[in-house]
Amino acid sequence: MRRFKLLLDMIKFEHTLFALPFALLALFLAAEGWPDSRILLWVLVAMVGARSAAMTVNRIADLRQDAENPRTRDRHLPLGLVRRRDAWLFAGLAAAIFVVAAWRLNPLALGLSPVALAVIVGYSWTKHFTWASHLWLGVSLALAPLGAWIAVRGRLDALPFLIAAGVVFWVAGFDTIYACQDIDFDRRRGLHSLPARLGPQAALLVARVFHVLMLAAFAALGIGFGFGWLYWLGLAGVAVLVVVQHALVRAGDLRHIDVAFFNVNSIVGVLLMAFTLADRFLLR
């Protein structure tokens, strides 16, 4: 149990909440109300399995650079609190749980599960060859609402791609901000990121562009679904959070980056989900 708790702590299990609200949003919209309890259960299992597998592999892939980076050298694997063998076993178990959950949902979900695993696990090595790693991470999290839609409908339609697009640019924006902490280290190690390539000021500008595109995607979602005023109120609240996030972090002052990354972003998905579902199902 101690090893298991250390593994959960290593992957920051509580951060599963970042993508979960968007998956639940797609799930409820696809079901046009409360989804079947069996589907809801297996979607939650799939989410936990996929995220746990991806994050564990990420920690394994980053072990050497984490050990050298002053910001990350106190993580579990560099300190030896978790053995690499145990991490691989945990990642394999989590991936198997994800595939079983996809199998229990429908044939399309099962058929696409290896593709989803390849995308989310593959992210761990993207900083070694492309500055677009931030967008890759966004795509990885955006698979959650697409998968939830497939779980209910057994097919993919156009509208959930608007949710996915919003997630892609939301994640790419805040991950670009977060990467500003490691500019010097990334450049020394030859790792790729927007801040390392462009410098902090230009990278933060790109992050703002990503977040404008996020808001545009969610605005298109509101139009596509014909949402009412409550949805637009929720989206306005998300826009305020985005502005706050960018106000907290500047090129010459990264002191509040953890607040911007963890505190502000943890609210975005929950806020949008709550207002969207209230608009869709409580006011009609």
- Per-residue confidence of the chain (284 residues) as pLDDT tens digits? 777 677 767 767 666 677 899 999 999 999 999 999 999 999 999 999 999 999 999 999 998 998 898 888 888 888 888 889 999 999 999 999 999 999 999 999 999 999 999 999 999 999 999 999 999 999 999 999 999 999 999 999 999 999 999 999 999 999 999 999 889 999 999 999 999 999 999 999 999 999 999 999 999 999 999 999 999 999 999 999 999 998 888 877 777 777 767 778 888 999 999 999 999 988 76
* Distance in angstroms (rounded) separating the CA atoms of residues 67 and 110: 37
HSE-CB at 169 with a 13 A cutoff on CA atoms is 18
Q: What is the pLDDT of residue 96?
A: 97
H or E stretch at 59? helix 37-61
Q: What is the pLDDT of residue 170?
A: 95
* Distance in angstroms (rounded) separating the CA atoms of residues 226 and 272: 15
The helix-helix angle for 229-248 and 265-277 (nearest 10°) equals 170
Q: What is the pLDDT of residue 196?
A: 93
In this structure, CATH architecture of domain 2-282: Orthogonal Bundle (1.10)
Tell me 190's DSSP state.
Answer: T
Residue 250 phi/psi, 5-degree rounding, is -130, 160
Residue ranges per structural domain of the chain: 2-282
Q: What is the pLDDT of residue 284?
A: 64
Q: What is the pLDDT of residue 5?
A: 77
* Distance in angstroms (rounded) separating the CA atoms of residues 140 and 117: 9
Q: What share of the chain is helix, strand, coil (3-state, %, to 5)?
A: 85, 0, 15
* Distance in angstroms (rounded) separating the CA atoms of residues 120 and 21: 18
Q: What is the pLDDT of residue 141?
A: 95
* Distance in angstroms (rounded) separating the CA atoms of residues 123 and 117: 10
**How many C-beta atoms surround the C-beta of residue 227 within 10 A?**
19
* Distance in angstroms (rounded) separating the CA atoms of residues 280 and 159: 15
pTM, whole model, 2 decimals?
0.93
H or E stretch at 204? helix 200-225
> For residues 66-97, b (16+ Cβ closer than 10 Å) or e, as one string?
beebeebeebbbbeeebeeebbeebbeebbeb
